[in-house]
Amino acid sequence: MDVSIRDVSYTAPTGQQVLDRVSLKPPAGRLTLVCGASGSGKTTLVRLVNGLIPHFHHGERTGEVLIGGREVARIPLGEMGRFTATVFQNPATQFFTTTVADELAFAAQNYGVPPEEIIRRRLGALKELGLEDLADRDLRGLSGGQLQKVACAQALTQQAPVILLDEPTSNLDPEGIEGIRSVIARLKALKRTIIVAEHRVHFLGGLVDQAVVMDDGRIVRRMSGAELFSMGDAERRRLGLRSLTRPELPRRTCCGSPLEVVDVPAVRAAGASRARGPKERRGLVISDMVVERGGRRILDLEHLDFPEGRVTGIIGANGIGKTTLVRAICRLQRCQRRARIELDGRPLGRGQAFLVMQDVHRQLFAESVADEASAHRLQRLGLAALADRHPLSLSGGQKQRLVIATAIDQDARVIILDEPTSGVDHRHLLSIATELRALAAQGRVVIVVSHDDEFLAECADRIIRLL
C-alpha cells in the first residue's frame, strides 16, 4: 500500500517545532529505515503514518499524509488498524488486555475476524517468534524484552498492509533480534510496506531498500540500503549512526585490561550448597538470593559480587531474571528472608542504591528538565538546550538520558542502569559510557543490565552472564 508524506511540518502543543517540511515516499512493499539522533523526529514520523498525529497527539500539522491515497487526518483512528500495525518504542503502553493470548486476538476480534482465523494467526505468530511458552502468560509478569516480542507478534497477527516499528529491538537479546529480522523478512516477502525507526541498524543488513537520516526535524540524507551498509566508519560516526555490523564483546576492556566474563546460573541446581557468607571486601555482595513468582523460581543465586570502582555488565537471554535481580538489590522485588545484600560488608541501607528503570516514565517528576538534574550533568549528556522543556515532551532517548543524569547526581554508592541505551544514538551512547566510567573512578559500584554489546564494549570492566 502506498504511503506518502508531503511537505509536512508539525508543531507540538508546547510550541516546539518537531518536524520541518518533511517529504518521504516509502516504496510500496519495501522497507524504509528512518535513523538519526535521539529527538530528531523519528517517532513523530511514525505517529504521522499511524494516525496518532493528529487524532491523539494534537498540535499543528501542515502538509499531507496519505495512505492508500487517503488523507490520514480524515480516517477515523478506530479504522487505522485496518491500514497500519505499530510496534511502539515502549511496548507496555500499547497493550489492552492482560494475557499474551488475549492480546494477540484483540485487534482481529475488533474487526470481526472469524475465531478460527484468529486462532490460526495467533499460533503462527507465536511460532514465528518462538513464543509458544508465553502463550498462556500474564503480560504483567513478562520482562521488557518479552513484551517487545509480544508487540511484534501482535503486529504480525494484525495483517495490516503497512507495518511501523519504532525501536523494535531496543530491549531484545541477540536471539530475539534475529527473530525480529526473520519476521521483517517474512513481511517484506509478503509485500508489506515497512517503516522502521531505529538506532540499532546492523540486523537490517540486506533488507533495507531506502534509508533516510533525520536531524533536528529534517531529513538530511537519503540513500539506498546498499549505500548505507557500505558506508565507512568515519562517515557513519559523523552522521551519528550505530554500528553497521553486529557488535561483539571485545577480549579487552576500553582501558586495555582483559575483559572478565563470569557465567552464573540464574537458578542453581537442586541440592547445591548454600552460601556461607561473603568475605569482607569493598563493593556490593549478594548471597543466597532466592526470588519466586507465581510458584516459579525466577532466581536462585548463591553468590555474586560487584566491586567498587568498576563497571559490571549483566547480560543474558530475555526473561532470565536480569531485571528481577537489580530490582531485588534495590528492594523493589521481594526475596526470601535469607537473602543477604551487603555493601562493604554491611547490609545495604536505604538510599545507597539508585536504579534507572527500563520504563523511565516512572522516574520523571518535575515540571521542567532543568528541575530534574543539575545544569552540569545536562550539559555533559547533551540535554542543556532542552532545559525549559517538560520532561514528558522529550523523545524516548532524551528521557532515558535525563533519568541517567538524575541518577548520576545522586549520592548513592551503587548506581544501577537497566537497558540505558535502548533509545540512544551513537554519540550519546559514548557520552553515557564516559559518565559511567567517571562514576566508577569515584569509587562507586556501577551495574549495567544490557543487551547492547556496542555500549558494553565502551564501558564495562567485567561481565556477569546469567544462564
In angstroms, what is the C-alpha Rg of the chain? 22
217 within some domain: yes
Residues 159 and 269 in one domain: no
Residue type at 24?
L
With 70 as the cut, is the pLDDT of residue 276 above it?
A: no
Q: Does any domain span residue 456?
A: yes
- Residue at 23 is within a domain: yes
User: What is the H or E stretch that residue 467 is in?
Assistant: none
List the domain range (segments joined by +) for residue 130. Answer: 3-238
Strand order across the 296-307 sheet: 296-307, 283-293, 340-343, 346-347
Q: Evaluate if residue 288 carries a pLDDT over 70.
A: yes
- Greater model confidence, 424 or 263: 263
- Taking only the tens place, the pLDDT of each residue in 121-173 is 999 989 888 889 898 899 988 877 788 889 888 888 988 899 999 998 887 88
Does 174 or 65 have the greater pLDDT score?
65
* Residue 22 and residue 138 in one domain: yes
- Tell me, yes or no, whether 246 lies in a domain: no
- Helix ranges restricted to H, 303-414: 322-329, 369-372, 375-380, 396-409
> pLDDT tens across 232-262, in order?
999 999 898 999 999 888 887 777 788 899 9
Share of the chain above pLDDT 70, in %: 97
Reading the block at residue 18, the C-alpha cell is 518537531
In angstroms, what CA-CA distances link 306 with 8, 404, 443, 447? 50, 20, 12, 8
As a whole number, mean pLDDT of residues 52-59 equals 94
Same domain? For 59 and 105 the reply is yes
CB 113 within 8 A of CB 144: no
pLDDT at 272: 62
Identity at 464, one-letter amino acid code:
I
Residue 316 in this model has a pLDDT that exceeds 70: yes
CATH of the domain at 165: 3.40.50.300
Asked, for residue 250, whether it belongs to a domain, the answer is: no
For cell 488486555, what's the residue? Answer: 97
**How confident is the model at residue 408, as a pLDDT?**
87
| Structural domain count, the chain | 2
Same domain, 266 and 234: no
Q: What is the pLDDT of residue 254?
A: 72
